[in-house]
Amino acid sequence: MEKKELKPSNDQKSIWVIAGEYSSIGFILPSSVVAGYLIGYWLDKWLGTTYLYLVFLLLGIVSGFIQVFRFVKKHED
């Protein structure tokens, strides 16, 4: 007999699981911004330029907002 794995709906999840999922929003945007800045900073030092940190900082901000919008779209009722 084949086992079927049932995925619980949002109504069946505990409040702690839901809180944990939504608290990740607080880490998505800042981590994207910091990662973009650090990549740009490292490339500036490696290539001897002075503007790449700003370019990658902006890319980090945009990618962070995109990830937040994807998360919200996925979890909207």
Would you place residue 33 in the very low, low, confident or very high pLDDT band (cuts 50, 70, 90)?
A: very high
Residue 37: pLDDT band (50, 70, 90) is very high
Whether the per-residue pLDDT at 56 is higher than 70: the answer is yes
SS (H, E, C) the chain: CCCCCCCCCCCCCCHHHHHHHHHCHHHHHHHHHHHHHHHHHHHHHHHCCCCHHHHHHHHHHHHHHHHHHHHHHHHCC
- Domain locations in the chain as residue ranges: 43-77
Local confidence band at 3 (pLDDT 50, 70, 90 cut-offs): low
pLDDT in tens, 11-32: 578 888 888 888 888 898 899 9
* Mean pLDDT, all residues of the chain: 86
- For range 37-57, the mean pLDDT: 95
